[in-house]
Amino acid sequence: MEEKKRPWLPFPDPLGIAEKLTENTPIQLKDPIRSILKEEQSPSKINPDATVPEWVFKARGDPERVKRLLERGFIP
Amino acid sequence: MILPEQRFYQDLIAQFCSKYNLGKPPAKLELLDKNQYPIETGDTEMLTSYLVGKDKIVLSPTIFELPGIVLHELCHHFQALRLGLIEYAKRYKQLLKTYGYDSHPYELEAEEFAKKWWVEFASLIKQKMEE
């Protein structure tokens, strides 16, 4: 997989999960990964009342995501 | 590392398919942890995905927060059963070229399916959590 050219990135990131919002901000993981990593999940925390928000469909259809999943034999 | 909660979701999906006569459940359902999921699937959005060749739904820990996202993948599984796994994968890619993702007929169907069955699915989750 060809990695995007990001001269500010000092380490390999073939999955493209690192981002830098502005020139002066530090490198961080993209959301929603960043939010998910904040705390461990457990089945007791399943929220059966949470409907799936609109951003999920948009996130599913991200062209880079679609490409990566199809390359691995997944349907995105 | 396979999370122990995987069994909960396997039973949940099997019961859901059976209770509403939706069809055969997927051959496999796997729940991966936050580190393994993006590496195995390439899905850095940490959602869910369907490995068509193995008829396997793969879940990320986002499933705890948004349990309904699995319904989208379940629909892809039923679509694959209708056409056969190989033909489905081929057809999916053809339609993607024509329609893109947002208007892809299989994706729109999966979204409709997820909305249609959400209430029943949420009800079954609550029931299982009380067991």
DSSP bridge pairs for B28 = B56
Amino acid identity of B12?
Answer: L
Q: Which residue of A has its CA nearest to B75?
A: A75
Tens-digit pLDDT profile for residues A28-71: 777 666 555 544 555 557 888 888 888 888 899 999 999 999 99
What is the pTM (predicted TM-score) of this model? Answer: 0.78
Residue B7's contacts (CB-CB under 8 Å, 6 or more residues apart) are: none
Cβ-Cβ contacts under 8 Å, B34 against chain A: 33, 36-37
Tens-digit pLDDT profile for residues B60-73: 999 988 999 999 99
Peptide bond into A53 cis (omega under 30): no
Cβ-Cβ contacts under 8 Å, B100 against chain A: 61
DSSP bridge pairs for B56 = B28, B51
Q: Which residue of A has its CA nearest to B108?
A: A57
- Torsion angle, alpha carbons of A10, B35, A35, B48, to 10: 120
Only one residue has tokens 């459940």, namely B25
